[in-house]
Chains A and B, each alone.
Chain A
Amino acid sequence: KAGVTQTPRYLIKTRGQQVTLSCSPISGHRSVSWYQQTPGQGLQFLFEYFSETQRNKGNFPGRFSGRQFSNSRSEMNVSTLELGDSALYLCASSLGWGSSGNTIYFGEGSWLTVV
């Protein structure tokens, strides 16, 4: 079955612009979470969505937001981009809430470069 799909894979934006990244989870998975990976900070949790509701949020400023649609697909948005937002943004999906020890599966990520 198809894995987690993220689009676009690569993009370059200018400081001050905004960006929207898209994620399609594995079929049947209802939980989607987002992570930011940078060389200095490693993998950091952004937020998690289940049933179109944000369930958890990491320590990121309000410029980072997300949403989930009824078909479990998710988007994240970063407004007023800063140079430090350059990173690999990873989406992960899992079956969802209440499944004991259920594992999350990552997409290949969207590489964002802010210039």
Chain B
Amino acid sequence: DQQVKQNSPSLSVQEGRISILNCDYTNSMFDYFLWYKKYPAEGPTFLISISSIKDKNEDGRFTVFLNKSAKHLSLHIVPSQPGDSAVYFCAASVGYGGSQGNLIFGKGTKLSVKP
């Protein structure tokens, strides 16, 4: 049973447009959510996070939205750039103030940004 689901394995977007990556979770105990970006042959790179006490967090072109009632979060990238092409992983954990080593990951969404 997948606790964190990314239902779209791939997404293709035109350069300059908005990319929206979605993630659903089932465990209501999750209170910290993160997005990681991964290029081939490299480890995942932290992108942005949000705690359950917020519903939005913004960092430059990246914004994460959290809808706790729907158990849904999304990552918006505006404007999308070709260098954003990568696999994006959504992750969640229980325990904002404790261990952060035990993350539950979704299976990833491969984003392709076309020039």
A101 to B50, CA, bound (A): 9
Flag A18-42 by CB within 8 Å of B: 1 or 0 each: 0000000000000111010000011
Shortest beta-carbon distance from B58 to chain A in Å: 16
Q: Is the interface of A mostly helix, strand, loop or mixed?
A: strand
Assess whether A104 is in contact with B46, with CB atoms less than 8 Å apart.
yes
| B101-A108 in contact (CB<8A) | no
Confirm or deny: B34 has a beta carbon within 8 angstroms of a beta carbon on chain A.
yes
Once A42-B106, A42-B108, A101-B51 are accepted as A-B contacts, the answer to whether A106 and B43 lie under 8 Å apart by CB is: yes
- Per a CB cutoff under 8 Å, which of A55, A90, A105 touches B99? A55
Contact present for A103 and B34 (CB under 8 Å): yes
Say whether B100 contacts A103, CB under 8 Å.
yes
Interface size on A, residues (CB 8 A): 31
Chain B residues, Cβ within 8 Å of A92: 43, 101
Residues in chain A near residue B36, CB distance under 8 A = 106
Nearest-CB distance from B77 to chain A (Å)? 19
Interface residues of A (CB under 8 A from B): 4, 31-33, 35, 41-45, 48, 50, 55-56, 58, 90, 92, 94, 97-109
Sampled A-B contacts (18; CB under 8 Å): A31-B100, A41-B107, A42-B107, A43-B44, A43-B103, A43-B105, A50-B99, A50-B101, A55-B101, A58-B102, A90-B44, A94-B100, A94-B101, A98-B97, A98-B98, A99-B100, A101-B100, A106-B44
